[in-house]
Amino acid sequence: MAKIDPAFQAAPFYGQSSYDPIEAVKNAKEMRYKQALIQRKEADVNMEKGLKNLAMEIKGWDDQKGFEEISGELEDLRSRYVELGSKGLNLYNPKSFAEQRLAREFNTRVSKLQQKHDVWQQAKEKVETARQIIEKQLQMPEEERTIDVELQKQAIEDYKNTEGGILDRNAKLDSLIKTKARPIDIGVWFAGQYKQLISGLDKHPEAINTDPVTGRTTIKTVEGVDEKRIEEATRKIARNIKSLPRNMQAAIEREYKDDEDNVKTKEEWIRERFLPAYPTKKETRISGGRSGGAGLGINFLGRKTTMEPGMLRRDPIPYGDRTYQSPYEFTSKDAFTIPIGTRGSSYFFGNSWQPIEGGGDIEGNLRFYDSNRDEFVFRTTQTGFAPFTQNNMTIAVPRRNLGDRADELPIEVDGVIKQFKDVFGPSDKSVKTIGGKDYRVTPVKNKTVGGKDYGMTPYIPKNK
């Protein structure tokens, strides 16, 4: 007998089945439709909420270019939002990674547009302020206005017509206010131009003379600015005006046209009005001389010697509390016996001058003569006791103490060598002596150990 496989045993019958495949398909379609309807309604709600966020109020003004830029970008954002929503992307309440990424990008664009709108509104305020200033200035007389009205109007129009977007044009707002360039501003600019283009002075020889007696050559030179340099600088300045800000250009043009004598060319007018007064400096230089440079043979303080002529020093010589303003410096290798006397002679010690006590002679080199103080200054070459002196001490002696013994000193004036008496007058010979004594100087006799007399024997001028 064959065996029966249990797996092939018939299933028990429980009655007629309730499953209807047609109904099942119908129900599934209905469920999907309802779900899609719910999603559609949710998408419409999100779309509406998102578009409300894009309902940015554009506060327009007469900058049509800026208005078109803002409104155009806003409309582009709205169209893009609707396009993405129609594709089933929820940017208002994103769930998927793709939706989140697109939502971030979209919100960034919206934020930048709002910032641009704020910048545009700030521009409106600046333009309105510039216009209000114009209105107030127009109520004032021309000479009292502090801005250039026409230039300011043009600056506003330039802002609105400048190429580029709102952010590109924003830099123009910093120059909307066009203040008038004052005459002092114009003068400062021209002075700076001349200073930059003309630096230093030109040196020209004026005269060259050779003294047949001394063999010295005197060269007189004049320092100033060459005419060609002035002309070239003026031409460059006239060209540089074109690179100035418009308010400066306008102010210069007004000054030029308002000039009473406006028949001049621009360059002639610039030169006449703004060329600085360059100094003219004259200088005398002496070179050469007798062979070997030995100087001139003279008699000075009873000694025959050779000496270079005294030259006027341009700078004063300060000595403590005393300043020699007009010193004529001498150069000599010889030392001279200097009659000091007791009146007026002094020596420099520390930082001040002290009167010399005693009437003896002192040996020293002649350094200079000062015409203001009318005294000679020597530098000692030995020490002494009466009066007390040290080596290299500075001694000042009035001219009256030397009398006519300084008359032959050589002095150079304007390149010509003269004698001391011809420049400063002869020594005073009106003083008469009594019994051979000269009472212009009262000698003082100082006795020292051993009874030696170091007093000075008064000098008596020779009668001529």
Q: Indicate the helix (H) or strand (E) that contains 418.
A: strand 416-419
pLDDT at 237: 92
The C-alpha torsion from 370 through 371 and 373 to 375, rounded to 10°, is 60
pTM reported for the whole predicted model: 0.39
Residue at 242: amino acid letter:
K
Tell me if 346 sits within 8 A of 364, measured CB to CB.
Answer: no
DSSP label of 163: S
Encoded tokens for 75: 């409309």
Burial 66-98 (b: 16+ CB within 10 A, else e): bbebbeebbeebeeebeebbeeebbbbebeeee
How far is Cα 438 from Cα 302, in angstroms, rounded to an integer? Answer: 18
How far is Cα 244 from Cα 246, in angstroms, rounded to an integer? Answer: 6
What region does 385 belong to: left with phi over 0, alpha with psi -120 to 50, or beta? alpha
By three-state DSSP, how is residue 452 classified? coil
Largest Cα–Cα separation, the chain? 198
Question: In angstroms, what is the C-alpha Rg of the chain?
Answer: 53
By three-state DSSP, how is residue 203 classified? strand
- Rounded to an integer, what is the distance from CA 147 to the centroid of its chain? 27
Per residue of the chain (464 residues), what is the pLDDT tens digit?
555 555 555 556 555 656 667 766 666 666 665 555 555 555 555 556 555 666 677 788 888 888 888 888 888 877 877 777 777 676 666 777 877 887 788 778 888 888 888 898 898 898 888 889 888 888 888 777 878 888 888 888 888 888 888 888 888 887 788 877 777 788 888 888 888 888 777 766 666 666 655 556 666 777 777 788 888 989 999 999 988 888 888 888 888 888 766 677 888 898 888 888 877 776 666 655 544 444 677 778 877 888 888 888 888 888 888 889 888 988 877 888 888 765 788 888 878 888 887 777 888 888 999 988 889 999 888 777 667 778 888 989 998 888 888 888 888 887 677 888 888 887 765 444 444 444 444 343 443 334 444 444 444 444 44
Residue 106: count other Cβ atoms within 10 Å of its Cβ. Answer: 20
Tell me if 317 sits within 8 A of 324, measured CB to CB.
Answer: yes
Q: Indicate the helix (H) or strand (E) that contains 338.
A: strand 336-339
Instruction: Check whether the bond before 387 is cis (ω within 30° of 0).
Output: yes
**CA angle at 257 for the pair 254 and 263, rounded to the nearest 5°:** 160
pLDDT at 446: 40
Tell me if 215 sits within 8 A of 156, measured CB to CB.
Answer: no
How far is Cα 185 from Cα 207, in angstroms, rounded to an integer? Answer: 42
